[in-house]
Structure 1
């Protein structure tokens, strides 16, 4: 990818944030990659690594902070709370993303085209970057997310992102682990922020860097988080899942009813009516909650628009 735009800005206004855990084998290359393109305000948050990640990062010229808790989410929350720069670019410390592609993410933020830019790894993946299981899992999770949140995003789990300070300050994040990326994206959507997705190059993980992701366990947690968060943003989807399940059970019971010749056949008929009724109630609840959620989002947008107008008026004085 090439970058034909040139913007004049102070690169010290950009904080390069790298959450790490046992990244000794890759962190130096990541830090030097940013320094080679002129970014020296580099902050490494270490999750109590057992190797020499902290020493290597400090020797490479980064500011190193040992996070007070555990998990990538906790590191992000702690770094976001301490942020003073106008912009932040977050990247994984495992060497799978290219520091020299920072402008693809940062420029839309600098130009005011987005509050939050996410790098799409799936679009720019190189051979071997994803295992077959990880690629399938990522695609399933992203498909589920798009259905739950009416979103066009293709890679909600990416670790390469750019933000404005205002975007970060508006977020209310609580997750400590890998679910944080899902919560982060949901928060941006809920707060009405402009999210832009751009393709980035995604490389295979260096052999000397171990993955901390457990595909089955973390995939389940992320999927459950998506479903849980949907009750606020898209309650029709949240209730609709259970409604569909209830109707499906009812239809199965109706289909089985003619084949039940013993006295239990009448129970199947009663049960089918029961599940159909539950399905209908859940669907109605979903519609009512969806109307409430839509009104809430409109009210929030109106409040945000009014706040921006007040800030403009204040800046004029």
Structure 2
């Protein structure tokens, strides 16, 4: 899939949420294939700036081809868990007016069989967003203990047949290593006694392993507090999540930054609370029209918050 075929999710809503104008300083912390980034650049004036980050070398190469010649754009290869470090490098920490996290796997990653993200395409069982770092999914699947596999599928995939699938994986790899996406998908399909309507039986297993391999939840937990430090007062944070594990973390973080904690009864004087974020509206979902045009958007959820003037301590 090329950049032209990629459809950015909730594009109009993101542009409005980030309030992008001619002088904006925006960080797209998950460039993907640049749908959001390109639209942001089109709204910037001569003094505006965009910093685009991505941990996937193919995404970074795409960004350099499409936007690398624009003097308003800086491009970095790295995870959003390195957000403040990258902003420091470009002198924009505390000056960012808009920050976007578009979480999860991108359409080009899913469609590229060689990346091993999708059970729909035969390919090596890899799943790394940065193929130069960490272990592949195949290495983990063929080396993890049964209990560990079951735990990961249950916690990261919310898979109710986690134990059955883990047992089937261990049994299958004793005969032959599991090295391809189809091989794993077939093992899962044979192990699952019932199917969810409209969903491949391997969906939750592939999600769980991908989240583990890329440390997606740990990366998110590390990145969100850095948003407090890099955003200017009045700067906007927009986060698009695609499943409950991500959204739950985003929701709890933003609520914790926007609302005073509930205290146990009997405390005579509550300590002063200075919210560092203000929640903007209710979470947004794609319109019915967008979901028809782009079925992969159907599970997207956008949360938006605005940085207050409260200092980061």
Calculate the TM-score normalised by the size of structure 1.
Answer: 0.29
- Higher-Rg structure is 1
